[in-house]
Every structure is written in C-alpha cells, then in structure tokens.
C-alpha cells in the first residue's frame, strides 16, 4: 500500500536509506571508474584491441554497481540480487579472460583466438561452470583460490542470487515489494552488503594477483611523457586509489589475502 504524500524513501525509513551498503557501493563504483581509466594504455597482449580490454569491462562493471545502488535505494532487494549475480558472472569472466590470455599468449601465438573472437562477436565465452573450473584449477591462481575457499561464502552467494532470480522461495518475491512492512529488511541489506564485499574481494584478489602492473601509479609514465627523468623506483609506486581500497577493505576484511597479494608483487604496496 502506498501512502499518499509519503515517498518510498520515507516508507523505507532512515535506517534503510542510510545503510552502509550505499557508501560501499559508491566506493566500489569510484574504484572501477578509476581503474578503467588508469589501465587504458596497458596493451591486452593476445588480442587486436587498441585499448586495454579491461578498460571497457571496468566501466561496464561500474555501471552495474551504480544500477545496484539505484535499485536498492528504491527497496527492490530481490531485483538487486539479479544484478549481484550479473556482477558475480562478469567479474569471473574478467578473471577468466585475463588468465586465458596469460596462459596462451606467446611469440608463437600472438593472437589468442578464443578471446579475440569473443571481442569481435564471433565466438561466445564458455559457460559459467567451465570458467569457474578453469580459474579454480589454475596453478597460477592456486594460492588465492585456496584462501577464497577457506569457507563456503561464495557458494552461499551463488545460491542466494539464484534463489532470488528464480523465486525459489516465496519470501524472495516479498523482497521486491518496497511498500509492505518487512521487519527483516535491514537484515537482508546486511547480508547483501556482506555478499557484495565478498565478491569485490574475490575480483580484486584474482585480478591483481595476475596483473600486478595494474597497481602502478601514473607518476613513472607521466615523467617520461614530459621528457623528465622518473624518480628512482617510481615504476613500483602504487596508485593512491588502489592503496586506499586495499587498506580499507582487503587488509581489514581479508588480511590473509592481503598478505598473499603483497608477497606476489614487486610494487610498493604498503
């Protein structure tokens, strides 16, 4: 029931509209926006792409994050889970394409056809099950995969996303009604926040374990572009937005993963 003169935001209440998940979504959105821009000039070896393949991937991911925020702000938690599942899929596809290029690019194989054909629209990406197995069985990513599977949170994320997408239970239907009184709404937001954070950590860990040059600040290249001599070891400096999200999320929430990433990079990640 909609009460005349009362907005959806007022019906949802201050505890909902000021929930921490909205600040988290803003932080993730800003991160992907900055990452999309900062990696633009890194060549995606193994493809014919002029700009880095991930530039548009991350700007698209930012769009998904922004859509989640907008939908949640209207109290449509069930719909937000459909987009959370999309975020899950798209981030693993991103890991898969980077890993596949990393594994298959060589002087004898300058164009990795599966990924280049996917870019050109002549071949589809493998299904989720195959992508997931390829990542989990990768020797290169084993240290991160072992840490990520210390508990069953990612299985629970997938199950919850599927339950909401397919209406496996009636209460999933109710989660999309923003006008009824739902005393569990904040608890559902808390859980959504936890799942979203877990997926972000997974994506960050895999991508930067594979591509630690994505950490790099622009100082070294900027100096070269200006005809100046770069400061000593500036090629190892970390972009401020990377360090910020690393400190605020990875170190605080998964110090084990933070330690493994630091052990696998030559960058000056604090």
Give tens-digit pLDDT for 44-96.
888 988 889 999 999 999 999 999 999 999 999 999 999 999 999 999 999 99
Is 260 among the domain residues? Answer: no
For tokens 């070896």, name the residue: 45
Query: Domain for residue 157, yes or no?
Result: yes
The yes-or-no verdict on residue 186 having pLDDT over 90 is: yes
Residue 172 is assigned to a structural domain of this protein: yes
Neighbours of 27 (CB within 10 A): 16
Residue predicted with more confidence, 238 or 68: 68
Q: How far apart are CA 107 and CA 114, in angstroms?
A: 17
Listed as own residue / partner, the contacts of 161-167 with beta carbons closer than 8 Å and 24 or more positions apart are 161/81, 161/82, 161/84, 161/85, 161/88, 162/85, 163/81, 164/77, 164/78, 164/81, 164/82, 164/85, 165/81, 165/82, 165/85
As a whole-number percent, the residues of the chain with pLDDT over 90 amount to 69
User: Residue 221: CB partners within 8 Å, gap ≥ 6?
Assistant: 41
**Total number of domains constituting the chain:** 1
Q: Is the pLDDT of residue 222 over 80?
A: no
Q: How does pLDDT run across 142-174, given as a tens digit for each residue?
A: 999 999 999 999 999 999 999 999 988 888 888
DSSP strands (E only) in the chain: none
Q: What is the mean pLDDT of residues 219-245?
A: 76
Q: Is residue 56 part of a domain?
A: yes
pLDDT band (50, 70, 90) for residue 225: low
- Sequence-distant (≥ 6) Cβ neighbours of residue 169 within 8 angstroms: 163
Q: Confirm whether 200 is domain-assigned.
A: yes
Would you say residue 222 lies in a domain? no
Residue 91 lies in a domain: yes
pTM (2 decimals)? 0.93
Q: Is the pLDDT confidence value at 7 over 60?
A: yes
Containing structural domain, residue 198: 8-214
The answer, yes or no, to whether residue 105 has pLDDT greater than 50, is: yes
- Whether residue 143 lies inside any domain: the answer is yes
Confidence band of 1 (pLDDT split at 50, 70, 90): very low
């Amino acid at each position: 029931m909609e009460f005349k003169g009362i907005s959806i935001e007022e019906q949802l209440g201050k505890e909902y509209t000021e929930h921490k998940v909205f600040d988290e979504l803003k932080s993730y959105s800003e991160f992907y926006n900055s990452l999309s821009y900062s990696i633009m000039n890194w060549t995606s070896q193994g493809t014919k792409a002029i700009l880095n393949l991930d530039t548009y991937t991350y700007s698209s991911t930012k769009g998904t994050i922004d859509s989640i925020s907008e939908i949640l702000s209207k109290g449509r938690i069930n719909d937000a889970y459909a987009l959370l599942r999309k975020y899950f899929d798209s981030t693993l596809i991103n890991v898969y394409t980077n890993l596949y290029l990393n594994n298959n690019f060589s002087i004898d194989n300058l164009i990795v056809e599966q990924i280049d054909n996917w870019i050109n629209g002549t071949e589809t990406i493998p299904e989720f099950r195959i992508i997931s197995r390829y990542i989990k069985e990768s020797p290169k990513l084993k240290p991160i995969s072992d840490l990520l599977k210390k508990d069953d949170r990612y299985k629970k994320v997938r199950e919850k996303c599927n339950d909401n997408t397919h209406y496996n239970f009636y209460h999933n239907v109710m989660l999309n009604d923003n006008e009824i009184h739902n005393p569990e709404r904040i608890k559902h937001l808390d859980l959504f926040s936890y799942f979203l954070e877990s997926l972000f950590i997974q994506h960050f860990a895999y991508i930067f374990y594979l591509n630690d040059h994505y950490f790099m600040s622009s100082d070294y290249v900027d100096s070269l572009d200006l005809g100046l001599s770069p400061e000593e070891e500036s090629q190892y400096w970390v972009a401020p937005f990377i360090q910020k999200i690393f400190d605020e999320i990875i170190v605080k929430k998964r110090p084990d993963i933070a330690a493994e990433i630091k052990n696998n990079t030559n960058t000056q990640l604090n």
